[in-house]
Amino acid sequence: MAEDSDAVNHETAATETGRKATITFDDVTKTVLTADGPKSLLKNITLTFEEGGIYGVIGLGGAGKSTLLKLIDGNLTPTSGTVTVLGDNVAGLSDAARARLRSRISRVGVFPDFDEERTILESVAIAAGEAENAVEPDEAARAKALRLLREVSLRSQKDAHPSQLSGGELQRAAVARAFASSPRILLFDEVTAAQDHIEGREILRLIKQFAKESGATVVLATHEIATVKEICDHIVVLDRGFVVEEGPTYAVIADPQTDQTRVFLEAVSSLGKVDTLLAGHDPVVDLRPGQKLIALRYVHEDVSEPLVSLITRKFGIDVNIMLADVQIVGKYPIGGIVGVFEGPERNIRDAVAFLRSKKVRVEILAEN
Ligand SMILES: Nc1ncnc2c1ncn2[C@@H]1O[C@H](COP(=O)(O)OP(=O)(O)OP(=O)(O)O)[C@@H](O)[C@H]1O
Ligand SMILES: [Mg+2]
């Protein structure tokens, strides 16, 4: 992926997973003409999105996230390069073929459009009926719509019209409508932005469940790293129209390679406190002879054993933990530990070698 660009590309190339690519961007650039001349919204984007994957596109305001989503559902066409969706080059489609493609894609935007004349239940049922090629929503479509509205906590408002709902409620209705249409591709643009914390998490849970059950590909644009961390298995970091970094969520969060990514990760703190600890001549780092202050960083997915207790037993050393910030992303620990290691020099050296063999990144911060 992204072979021609400078984007940092964490391992696990799409082709190695054996899953089908549902969306590919091949050197895509989107330029628009403005009063000040041409403006590039996206530049040289090469990306693959696979079937069943949940992708988080993160970037600051204006980075190009919404533009990327609009290129996927054919709302925009590239200025150069090719966007292929479900096997079709989006730019080359007839109107009929484009309509067919669009019926297999749902995009939930920041301001969902609903027919004011209809109740929420009717609108969701119509989407469910269309997915079954029914002219009018039948009983099954209405039942599906009701179930989905219940899932997004809107059952009691099923007979409300769009203007009677809050912004967050309308967005949840749009999520229900998107699921109802049984899409192969689901695009979400800041879908949790208008939700309170609890509803937001619930929506993310539903998206994950839907993706798992249906095998649909999900692309979620957001500037909240927490959202990505919660459900996305892949991250694409956009900055001013460029992909600056992409890869499996775990790899990107555990070991970000660009400053732009680190900006987002500040919320998912890591070992930034270590520097403070060292710089401030804190008494905790006044080491006695034979002690070493060592930082361990978990940056690989396969670190799952309780390594600290293991090394104290195996190598007969003491580890006094000064600082620990470990959280679970996916199924794996991420973050790190700073501890004072004490014991025979040789044993500490062996313990460090052992940790490195377990793919823990080890840094000796200070020693006495
Ligand atoms: N039709 C247009 N004409 C001119 N500039 C545009 C047009 N559409 C988007 N832009 C500009 O392109 C850039 C990318 O826009 P886009 O909406 O994709 O960003 P975004 O990452 O979704 O931002 P946000 O987080 O604010 O939603 C922005 O600077 C925006 O102002
Ligand atoms: Mg946007």
Nearest CA to ligand 1 atom 24: 61
Atom of ligand 1 nearest to the CA of 110: 27
What one-character DSSP code corresponds to residue 133? T
Contact yes or no for 211/185 (Cβ under 8 A) = no
Which ligand lies nearest the alpha carbon of 57? 1
* Cα–Cα distance measured from residue 292 to residue 81, given in angstroms and rounded to the nearest whole number: 54
Task: Please return the burial class of 269, using the count of CB atoms within 10 Å of its CB with bins 0-12, 13-18 and 19+.
Answer: exposed
pTM: predicted TM-score of the whole model, two decimal places: 0.77
For residue 205, report the distance from its CA to the centre of ligand 1, in Å.
28
For residue 62, report the distance from its CA to the centre of ligand 1, in Å.
5
- Going by C-alpha positions, the residue among 230, 365, 348 that lies closest to residue 285 is 365
For residue 102, report the distance from its CA to the centre of ligand 1, in Å.
22
Reported confidence tier of residue 295, pLDDT bands at 50, 70, 90 = confident
Which ligand lies nearest the alpha carbon of 60? 1
Q: For the ranges 247-251, 332-336, 344-348, which has the lowest average pLDDT? A: 332-336
Average pLDDT over residues 213-226: 91
Which ligand lies nearest the alpha carbon of 31? 1
Nearest CA to ligand 1 atom 13: 62
- Going by C-alpha positions, the residue among 81, 82, 4, 12 that lies closest to residue 50 is 12
How confident is the model at residue 335, as a pLDDT? 74
How confident is the model at residue 5, as a pLDDT? 52
* Cα–Cα distance measured from residue 228 to residue 351, given in angstroms and rounded to the nearest whole number: 35
pLDDT in tens, 94-110: 999 999 999 999 999 88
Average pLDDT over residues 210-227: 90
Q: In sequence order, what E strands does the chain have?
A: 8-9, 21-34, 37-50, 54-58, 80-85, 88-89, 105-108, 185-189, 217-222, 234-239, 242-248, 291-298, 318-329, 332-342, 360-367
Q: For the ranges 95-104, 129-138, 230-239, which has the lowest average pLDDT? A: 129-138
Average pLDDT over residues 245-259: 88
Nearest CA to ligand 1 atom 3: 32
Q: For the ranges 42-51, 242-251, 299-308, which has the lowest average pLDDT? A: 299-308
Query: Which residue's entry shows tokens 């969520």?
Result: 249
